[in-house]
Structure 1
Amino acid sequence: MSLDIKALTEIQWSEIELENVGDWPVIVKIICCTFVAALVLFFSYSLLVSDEIDSYHSAVEKESELRSTYQVKYAVAINLDIYRQQMVEMEKKFSQLLKRLPTSNETPGLLDDLSYVGTTSGLTFLKIGWLPEIKKEFYTELPIKIEVVGTYHEFGDFVDKVAQLPRIVSLHDFSINTSGDSELTFSVVAKTYRYEEGIKK
């Protein structure tokens, strides 16, 4: 290495010209060739290889994505018969649930049903009546305001009987207050629902 450094220090750089490349010292030719080779490698990588590598990585990512998509679709396809059977069962259950929703002709009878289960539970009605309808996306809520007097046990029996009604009725916003004569006042909003066939989902 010391010889190379010595050779470099002895070069008369002012005498080196492009027109006399053949007369350049060997060490200078080696340096120039190495520099040119490095430039060729750099530009070859930048212009040719780099884009190909990026394309390769993109292709690998795309392949991974396609594999994942394929696995998901394959899992769905292999279970297609099961999904179809489940869809039929869900449609059947949905149809059964719709049948449990009262029609406009049946809603007056629902008040009679609630009155009946309340009185058979030992409750005394203070108030029972319809509240304004509440329109939803594909159904209508039909709330009923109920106020009764009785005991905790009678309230529990009433709630149990409401759950056993053939039509869907849910209880909301209930409150229990004591009155002066040791009786309890039970206030609740019972909601039933009407399916609106004309409304698009």
Structure 2
Amino acid sequence: MATSLSKIDLNAWFAEFSGQFQGLNPKEPGQWPLAPKLASALVVMLAVIGVGYFFLLSDVEAGLDAERNREPRLRQDYQAKLAQAVNLPELRKQKSQVEEYVTQLEKQLPGKAEIDSLLSDISSAGVGRGLQFELFRPGQVVIKDYYAELPIAVKVSGRYHDIGAFAADVSNLSRIVTLHNLIVVAPAGARDANGPLTMEATARTYRYLDSAEVAEQRKAAAKAGGKKK
């Protein structure tokens, strides 16, 4: 008996509920029954939530995904910097050693005023080995970023061992001098295997830039950087 009554009441409620959606006037929603009003409000709310998600939350979610993608790289950067921080005393020690080494190398570079003395040392090294200079001509100074390079065209004649000793003497000078494009030939028509030879080479010596030249280089670099922009 109770079951039959509940069934009748449920059917009646459903019929009454569905009846509220019949004959609605879309031009006068204010006169709708309660059920259609609640249903319409729910649809509008869901629509607003959907539009808000696509136009607002979607950008936030995209930003969140981008930050998540950055996380592995940031983690690697953190680990690298952590390793550097742990090894900071050793890195400072290595930096000090490099600076000391650079200072030693700079001492091997003559200044502008010492170039003439160095040229004299190169010439004396050849004369001391009994070589005859057929050519000893300094070229145009080439300015680099941190130093200047002076090429010297050299042509000497002498015995093979004396030429070799001269090259060794040049490499052992207190200042840095390098030999490039070496050509050693016997004079044309020479029949004596132990006779004199001729060596042509380009000796290059290097000097550090003075303060005025350094300032000029920085000015040129800044000007070049401004043109690139």
* Structure 1 length-normalised TM: 0.68
Match of 1:139 among 143, 147, 155: 147
2:73 is the counterpart of 1:65? yes
Overall identity of the aligned pairs, in % = 35
The CA deviation at 1:90 is 1.4
Which residue of the partner structure matches residue 127 of structure 2? 119
C-alpha contact 2:110 2:175 (8 A) present in aligned 1: yes
**Corresponding letter in the other structure for 2:114:** E
**Of 85, 88, 100, the match for 2:96:** 88
Question: Given the alignment of the two structures, is residue 189 of structure 1 paired with residue 202 of structure 2, yes or no?
Answer: yes
Distance 2:148 2:200 in 1: 22
Q: What number of residue pairs does the alignment pair up?
A: 179
Once the two structures are superposed, what CA deviation does each residue of 1:88-136 show, in whole Å capped at 9, x if it has no partner?
Answer: 1111111111111112332222223212222333422212232222222
Give the direction of change, closer, same or farther, for the CA distance of 1:54–1:157 in structure 2 (3 Å limit).
same
Instruction: Measure, in 2, the Cα distance between the counterparts of 1:52 and 1:122.
Output: 84
Amino acid at match of 2:166: F
Question: 1:179: how far off?
Answer: 0.9
Match of 2:118 in 1: 110
The aligned amino acid for 1:164 is N
Give the CA RMSD over aligned residues.
Answer: 3.5
Distance 1:109 1:181 in 2: 38
Deviation track 1:134-186 (CA, whole Å, cap 9, x = no partner) reads 22223221222211012443332222111111001111232223313533211
Alignment of 1:25-104 (within 5 A): 54-104=62-112
State the 1:193 CA deviation.
1.4
Structure 1 residue runs without a partner (length 5+): 1-38
Give the structure-2-normalised TM-score.
0.61
Pick closer, same or farther for the CA change 1:178–1:71 going to 2, 3 Å. Answer: same
Q: Tell me by how many angstroms 1:56 deviates.
A: 4.4
**1: CA distance, partners of 2:124 / 2:171:** 14
User: Residue in 2 aligned with 1:12?
Assistant: none
